[in-house]
Structure 1
Amino acid sequence: MSVIQRIKEFSRSPQGRRTIEQVRRTAADPRRRAQARGLLARLRTRR
């Protein structure tokens, strides 16, 4: 089974749906967004 197929299968499961919802809530938090931006900025500068 390919990785993409496994991800699709997981996203359709109850656990996958809960995880997706949790990620959406976390992404909506301004403080978390700032943390993510900082992490991405650090990763970009290391290259």
Structure 2
Amino acid sequence: MTSGSMTERIKGLLNSQKGRDLMRFGRGQAAKPSTQQKLQQLMGRLTGGSGRRR
């Protein structure tokens, strides 16, 4: 599969009803405080810091 066809498939998904539903779900999950806390902890681990020690 070429990168052009992958790009087209992604664009097709994002423009479909299923893609819009997935985006809405993802935005809802990202807005939750518990999800934001988990992401902060992950970022701390990935950047060499600690999400637990402050």
Q: Scaled by the length of structure 1, what TM-score is found?
A: 0.72
Partner of 2:16: 13
- Cα distance in 2, alignment partners of residues 5 and 40 from structure 1: 31
Q: CA deviation at 1:29?
A: 0.7
Identity of aligned residues (%): 30
| Count of aligned residue pairs for this structure pair | 44
What runs of 5+ residues in structure 2 fail to find an aligned partner? 49-54
- Cα distance in 1, alignment partners of residues 40 and 14 from structure 2: 25
**1:1-47, CA deviations, whole angstroms, 9 ceiling, x for partnerless residues?**
1x3332221111111111100001011111111111111221222xx
Q: RMSD of aligned C-alpha atoms? A: 1.3
What runs of 5+ residues in structure 1 fail to find an aligned partner? none
Partner of 2:51: none
1:31 lines up with 2:19 in the alignment: no
Higher Rg = 2
